[in-house]
């Protein structure tokens, strides 16, 4: 048969004949329905406030070379000889003051779970059970590796990794992704993965922040002179080495100010949580609130746009330490505006961002699940 005759014969074959379902062999192992997974990842939490629980958590956190960019030969004796002797007690005291006693866990764990449940519900309303949402902590429990395996075991052959840090930094976003990639390195059958980029300038994120400010201030019996956006600090050398975190924080503060439409200077930014003798990103939060009080700005509101959920840095450091510094310098009224946490504005924004980043995956997952239901071979 010549080539012309061959192709003519091929055209006579119906496509539907080719695509008929192929039944699984009788001895084929069970195969879960194919889905898409979403893993929300936050920083981490100790399991309790006692010395040894805090020490385990801090050791894991402060041993990460992305967090502490100091040669191990120099850092290891300092960490194990000094910091892990003194800091667990102080940190445990701070955590104890904000601990969720009802659940016996840190607020960060409580809120991150609620965020995951909210995002899961929003996506289920749109896509049924074709998308599975889980959550994990980079340091502590629940750990990232087992969460990825759980998603894989539920049929998720594609997973979206979502580090819950609005502003990218190698010390946060990158190390969360690193931990996920370490799990992938141990898996014979890896799922395909994507990562959610920084969302420091996403309109939905800025809008949710602005609404939280407006709601909070409307409930006060006074009008703050200044809104201070306090971000977690970072050694300045990290910026010098190319970390974009500082630029992203400044942009978030600028966009928030523009969205609020307030007069210039009423929204300011600063950086908190520094330790050690090295220079960190400036201006420092504690010094800034002191300067504001001395300059006659005696009524201020503080917001923490770098945190997706309230934690020890916001509930203890800002509400106690930063407030005390402000009041001691002559301040009169201090209010903290909570993180977006699991407020509906935030949950819907997170779900919308997830759906955008799942572009081409969600519809594909639904189509694959339909084919699996027709008993096609899936392995």
Phi and psi at residue 136, to the nearest 5°: -160, 170
Q: How far is CA 119 from the centre of its chain?
A: 13
What is the DSSP-derived secondary structure letter of residue 76?
Answer: H
What is the per-residue burial (b if ≥16 Cβ within 10 Å, else e) of 113-146?
A: bbbbebbbebbeeebeebbbbbbbbbbbebebbe
Main-chain phi, psi angles of 290, to 5 degrees: -65, -45
Residue 232, marked binder: yes
Per the DSSP assignment, residues forming a β-bridge with 40 are 135, 162
Q: What tokens were used for 170?
A: 């190698």
Establish whether 313 is an annotated binding residue. Answer: yes
The alpha carbon of 183 is separated from its chain's Cα centroid by a whole number of angstroms, namely 18
Helix (H, G, I), strand (E, B) or coil at 49: coil
CA 354, 355, 359, 365 torsion-angle sign: positive
Residue 183 structure tokens: 């799990």
- Element spanning 148, H or E: helix 144-153
Q: Is the peptide bond before 11 cis (omega within 30 degrees of 0)?
A: no
Annotated binding site for Fe(2+): 232, 313
Annotated binding site: 232, 313
């Amino acid at each position: 048969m010549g080539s012309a005759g061959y192709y003519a014969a091929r055209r006579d074959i119906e496509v539907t004949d080719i695509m008929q379902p192929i039944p699984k062999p009788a001895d084929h192992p069970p195969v879960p329905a194919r889905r898409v997974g979403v893993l929300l990842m936050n920083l981490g939490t100790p399991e309790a406030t006692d010395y040894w629980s805090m020490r385990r958590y801090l050791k894991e956190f402060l041993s990460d070379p992305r967090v502490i960019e100091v040669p191990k030969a120099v850092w290891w004796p300092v960490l194990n000889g000094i910091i892990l002797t003194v800091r667990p007690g102080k940190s445990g005291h701070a955590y104890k003051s904000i601990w969720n006693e009802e659940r016996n866990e840190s607020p960060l764990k409580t809120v991150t779970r609620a965020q995951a449940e909210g995002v899961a519900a929003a996506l289920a309303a749109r896509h049924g059970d074709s998308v599975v949402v889980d959550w994990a902590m980079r340091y502590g429990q629940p750990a990232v590796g087992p969460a990825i395996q759980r998603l894989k075991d539920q049929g998720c052959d594609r997973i979206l990794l979502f580090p819950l840090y609005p502003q990218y930094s190698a010390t946060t976003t990158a190390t969360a992704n690193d931990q996920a990639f370490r799990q992938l390195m141990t898996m014979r059958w890896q799922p395909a993965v994507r990562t959610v980029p920084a969302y420091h300038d996403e309109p939905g994120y800025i809008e949710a922040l602005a609404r939280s400010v407006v709601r909070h201030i409307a409930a006060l019996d006074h009008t703050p002179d200044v809104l201070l956006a306090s971000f977690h600090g970072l050694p300045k050398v990290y910026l010098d080495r190319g970390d974009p975190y500082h630029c992203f924080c400044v942009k978030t503060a600028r966009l928030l100010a523009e969205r609020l439409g307030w007069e210039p200077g009423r929204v300011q930014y600063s950086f908190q949580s520094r330790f050690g003798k090295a220079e960190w990103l400036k201006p420092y939060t504690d010094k800034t609130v002191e300067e504001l009080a001395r300059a006659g700005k005696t009524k201020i509101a503080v917001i923490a746009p770098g945190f997706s959920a309230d934690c020890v840095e916001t509930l203890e450091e800002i509400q106690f330490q930063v407030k005390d510094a402000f009041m001691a310098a002559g301040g009169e009224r201090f209010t903290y505006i909570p993180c977006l946490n699991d407020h509906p504005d935030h949950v819907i924004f997170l779900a919308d961002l997830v759906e955008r980043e799942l572009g081409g995956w969600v519809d594909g997952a639904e189509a694959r699940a339909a084919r699996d239901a027709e008993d096609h071979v899936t392995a």
